Amino acid sequence: MRSDIQSKIRRDFSPSDFYAAIEAIQRWDVEVKGLLDDRRIRCAVYLARGSLDRLRQMIALGLQDYRDLIMAAEYEGEVRVRDFDHPFVRADDHA
């Protein structure tokens, strides 16, 4: 997992939820047979906003249809306002 993603999780999640969030993402990667990309992880972490329950919901959405996850994280209406192909930027945590 990229360092920007780990840093974002550490900033957003409580210390007690940090490892649970990492573990949930690792399980997600196993479910998609190692094909999980950084963009989808960033989308899920961004939308979770520090909530482990919400992260799990975003992972479920990503498993159902990853395009819905990307649309929710990167778009407002039909306009792309974030690009999570790029690392998180600490100043605003938007890519």
pLDDT at 91 over 70: no
Per the CB < 8 A criterion, the answer to whether 9 and 1 are in contact is no
Per the CB < 8 A criterion, the answer to whether 8 and 24 are in contact is no
For residue 35, give the 3-state DSSP assignment: coil
Tell me what pLDDT residue 1 has.
86
Tell me what pLDDT residue 89 has.
84
pLDDT category, 45, cuts 50, 70, 90? very high
Residues in Cβ contact with 49 at an 8 Å cutoff, skipping those fewer than 6 apart:
12
Position of tokens 């993402």? 25
pTM of the predicted model, to two decimals?
0.92
Number of Cβ within a 10 Å radius of residue 28: 20
